[in-house]
Amino acid sequence: MQATDSAGHGTQSTTEATRPAADGATTGAAAGDQFDFMVVSNRLPVDRCSSDETGCEDGWRRSPGGLVTALAPMMTKTDGAWVGWHGAPDETVKPFSHGGIDLIPVQLSTEDIELFYEGFSNATLWPLYHDVIAPPEFHRTWWDSYRKVNRRFADAVIRHAAEGATVWVQDYQLQLVPKLLREARPDLKIGFFNHIPFPPPEIFAQLPWRRAIIDGLLGADLVGFQRSSDAGNFMRSARRFLGASVKQQQVHVRGADGETTHIARAQAFPISIDVKQISELAKKPEVIERAQQIRRDLGNPKTILLGVDRLDYTKGIRHRLKAYEELLQDAKVTVEDATLIQVASPSRERVEQYRLLREEVEGTVGHINGTFDTMESTAVRYLHHSYPIEEMVSLYLAADVMLVTALRDGMNLVAKEYVTARTNNDGALVLSEFAGAADQLKQALLMNPHDIDGLKDTIMRAVNMQPAEASRRMRAMRKQILDHDVDLWSSDFLKALAEKVVRDDS
Ligand code: G6P
């Protein structure tokens, strides 16, 4: 961090004003502080909470989702700042430090949350980018709010970025930020990473503001994706909707005067996890003991199956429950022998599709348990909570079979966490081929979750897998992840961003 005087760009920050740094946090960046490295994402790694909520410590808890899981470890080791929303509506919070990271909060009003976050981000883009599993809604008021809020995030960066700084913008909520930064601060190195899939042009075509989104992303020097198919989809859309001339996944981007401002590149960088943290936790006696206690508390079933997801319609929880219910009906599994633990962490609860999903999932769980439970044993132990990472690792250790049945998922870090936690090389991973993780975890039991019979067969293969086969598969998957942890992901991206690119147009 470079401490500077008021020569910083822009005017007074919305983050400076009223609220002192919250409990449990130390005062961080001041108004004029500038940084050589900045990450910007919709969410900060911590969320405001009240002390009666699970996982809440000193007014803050870890934010949900894979983005934070992946970026937080890198940021604790970096001398940079993280710009993002702190999770509470209408609350102005001063810059502060938490867990060793300098955080610069951006305020969202109740209206911004409704239109920008719940609306355009999570009821337009999210379903559109996930194979239209739910129908996306298109509203001009949501789009106006998306533009306005993207401008606010860009302004916060512009104020705090040192001359020539590297800025790494994250995810679908902020796709206009790269271009806004480029226009105001051509001195910056701008990277963007999309944590979720990028849809094929045939689906992206539905978006009324498709040109502005592509244009916004092309403001970056490097646009990173989870899979090479996502990078290909993006470049095909750039060609189709902006008439860009794409060569080797690169585009010459021109300014208003027609002059080339920079070359934008698209490339895949599959994200990963903090392998060291999970491996160390998995060896802690208290974490191992807790895993054994979980099994005892469930009545010592022979097999524990586990699902861990944000309660999101992309995760295929309904398909998983359907397959499991049929296995119980067919007496392929019994409640005496097996229990399915389903952790469904609360998510986007005011968005209609998420409300409907919760009703449906909870109705189905109630129906399954009502039909199959006995006084002693339960079919599905359903937990609508989020848990600290220690408890998650205990669950991974307790689970003989992990079920990741996403209908579409950018990566799915839960799959990678499970494999990393299995330090004894046992356990079986059932993994959807529609999760980005399937590209790396090729020794998982891969399946198509839409095919319920196929899913049932795959679950049974996992339940009955011989130790030698389980060990062979788990070893190979663990090697892949141990060799590709999240530090490598971020350093690969930042190295590629720093490279000087010349495009041969001959
Ligand atoms: C996914 C997205 C993230 C998002 C997270 C949690 O991982 O890629 O950008 O932050 O879900 O969702 P939420 O809407 O609670 O931020």
| C-alpha of 402 from chain center | 19
Q: Give yes or no for residue 67 CB within 6 A of ligand 1.
A: yes
Q: State whether the Cα torsion 202-203-209-211 is positive or negative.
A: negative
Q: Tokens at residue 270, please?
A: 């599959």
Domain co-membership, 326 together with 436: yes
C-alpha 336/C-alpha 64 separation (Å) is 33
Domain co-membership, 367 together with 458: yes
Given 223, 243, 268, the domain boundary residue is 268
Given 268, 294, 318, the domain boundary residue is 268
Residue of 310, 413, 414 with the most ligand 1 atoms within 8 Å of its CB, for mutation: 310
Residue 411, CB half-sphere, CA atoms under 13 Å: how many? 26
> Which residue puts its alpha carbon closest to atom 11 of ligand 1?
65
Domain co-membership, 162 together with 193: yes
| Distance in angstroms between the alpha carbons of the first and the last residue of the chain | 42
- Amino acid identity of residue 220, one-letter, is A
Query: What is the Rg, in whole angstroms, of the alpha carbon atoms belonging to the chain?
Result: 23
**Is residue 370 exposed (0-12), middle (13-18) or buried (19+ Cβ within 10 Å)?**
exposed
Question: In 79-225, where do the E strands start and end?
Answer: 81-85, 96-98, 101-106, 161-170, 189-193, 222-225
Q: Give yes or no for residue 62 CB within 6 A of ligand 1.
A: no
- Is the separation of the CB atoms in 177 and 169 below 8 Å? yes
Task: Report the SS3 class of residue 192.
Answer: strand
> Which residue puts its alpha carbon closest to atom 1 of ligand 1?
65
Task: Report the separation in Å between the CA atom of 467 and the middle of ligand 1, taken as the mean of its atom positions.
Answer: 36
Residue 479 lies in a domain: yes
Give me the pLDDT at residue 25, please: 59
Give me the pLDDT at residue 31, please: 63
Domain co-membership, 90 together with 139: yes
Residue 328 lies in a domain: yes
Domain co-membership, 262 together with 296: no
Q: Tokens at residue 217, please?
A: 């992303």
Q: What is the crossing angle of helices 352-372 and 317-329, to 10°? A: 10
Counts for the chain of helices (H) and strands (E), in that order: 17, 19
Q: Tokens at residue 208, please?
A: 């009324």
Residue 393, CB half-sphere, CA atoms under 13 Å: how many? 23
Residue 2 lies in a domain: no
C-alpha 70/C-alpha 63 separation (Å) is 12
Residue 434 lies in a domain: yes
C-alpha 425/C-alpha 467 separation (Å) is 9
Task: Report the separation in Å between the CA atom of 411 and the middle of ligand 1, taken as the mean of its atom positions.
Answer: 12
> Which residue puts its alpha carbon closest to atom 10 of ligand 1?
65
C-alpha 337/C-alpha 20 separation (Å) is 54
Q: Tokens at residue 68, please?
A: 């934070």
Question: Which atom of ligand 1 lies closest to the CA of 171?
Answer: 9
Domain co-membership, 231 together with 195: yes
Residue showing tokens 């796709």: 175
The region that residue 4 occupies, defined by phi over 0 for left and psi between -120 and 50 for alpha, beta otherwise, is beta
Task: Report the separation in Å between the CA atom of 172 and the middle of ligand 1, taken as the mean of its atom positions.
Answer: 9
Contacts of residue 255, defined as CB under 8 A and 6 or more positions apart, other chains included, come to: 261
C-alpha 292/C-alpha 301 separation (Å) is 11
Question: In 128-221, where do the E strands start and end?
Answer: 161-170, 189-193
Q: Give yes or no for residue 195 CB within 6 A of ligand 1.
A: yes
For residue 413, the domain's CATH number is 3.40.50.2000
Domain span at residue 293 reads: 275-484
- Is the separation of the CB atoms in 264 and 220 below 8 Å? yes
Residue 492 lies in a domain: no
Domain co-membership, 252 together with 223: yes
Domain co-membership, 226 together with 369: no
Secondary structure (DSSP) of 7-56: TSSSS--TTSSSBPPPTT-EE---TT-BEEEEEEEEE-SEEE--TTSTT-
> Which residue puts its alpha carbon closest to atom 12 of ligand 1?
65
- Is the separation of the CB atoms in 88 and 48 below 8 Å? yes
Residue 460 lies in a domain: yes
Residue 173 φ then ψ, to 5°: -70, -15
For residue 165, CA distances in Å to 162, 190, 222, 251, 367 come to 5, 9, 15, 22, 55
Question: Which atom of ligand 1 lies closest to the CA of 196?
Answer: 8
Task: Report the separation in Å between the CA atom of 295 and the middle of ligand 1, taken as the mean of its atom positions.
Answer: 31
pLDDT tens digits in sequence order for the chain, 506 residues long: 443 323 222 222 333 333 444 555 566 666 678 999 999 999 999 999 888 877 788 889 889 887 888 898 889 888 899 999 999 999 999 999 998 999 999 999 999 999 999 999 999 999 999 999 999 999 999 999 999 999 999 999 999 999 999 999 999 999 999 999 999 999 999 999 999 999 999 999 999 999 999 999 999 999 999 999 999 999 999 999 999 999 999 999 998 888 999 999 999 999 999 999 999 999 999 999 999 999 999 999 999 999 999 999 999 999 999 999 999 999 999 999 999 999 999 999 999 999 999 999 999 999 999 999 999 999 999 999 989 999 999 999 999 999 999 999 999 999 999 999 999 999 999 999 999 999 999 999 999 999 999 999 999 999 999 999 999 999 999 999 999 999 999 999 999 999 988 766 65
Domain co-membership, 399 together with 281: yes
Domain count along the chain: 2
List b or e across 297-326, with b for residues whose CB sees 16 or more CB atoms inside 10 angstroms: ebeebebbbbbbbbbbbbbbbbbbbbbbbe
Residue showing tokens 């449990």: 24
Question: Which atom of ligand 1 lies closest to the CA of 122?
Answer: 14
C-alpha 462/C-alpha 403 separation (Å) is 10
Q: Give yes or no for residue 61 CB within 6 A of ligand 1.
A: no
List b or e across 378-405, with b for residues whose CB sees 16 or more CB atoms inside 10 angstroms: bbbbbeeebbebebbbbbbbbbbbbbbb
DSSP code, position 64: P
Give me the pLDDT at residue 53, please: 79
Q: Give yes or no for residue 86 CB within 6 A of ligand 1.
A: no
Residue 490 lies in a domain: no
Q: Give yes or no for residue 66 CB within 6 A of ligand 1.
A: yes
Question: Which atom of ligand 1 lies closest to the CA of 173?
Answer: 9
Give me the pLDDT at residue 16, please: 32
Task: Report the separation in Å between the CA atom of 178 and the middle of ligand 1, taken as the mean of its atom positions.
Answer: 19
Domain co-membership, 314 together with 258: no
Give me the pLDDT at residue 14, please: 32
Residue 347 lies in a domain: yes
- Is the separation of the CB atoms in 319 and 407 below 8 Å? yes
Give me the pLDDT at residue 318, please: 98
- Is the separation of the CB atoms in 46 and 60 below 8 Å? yes
Domain co-membership, 341 together with 203: no
Secondary structure (DSSP) of 313-339: GGG-HHHHHHHHHHHHHTTSS-TTTEE
Domain co-membership, 261 together with 384: no
Given 233, 248, 268, the domain boundary residue is 268
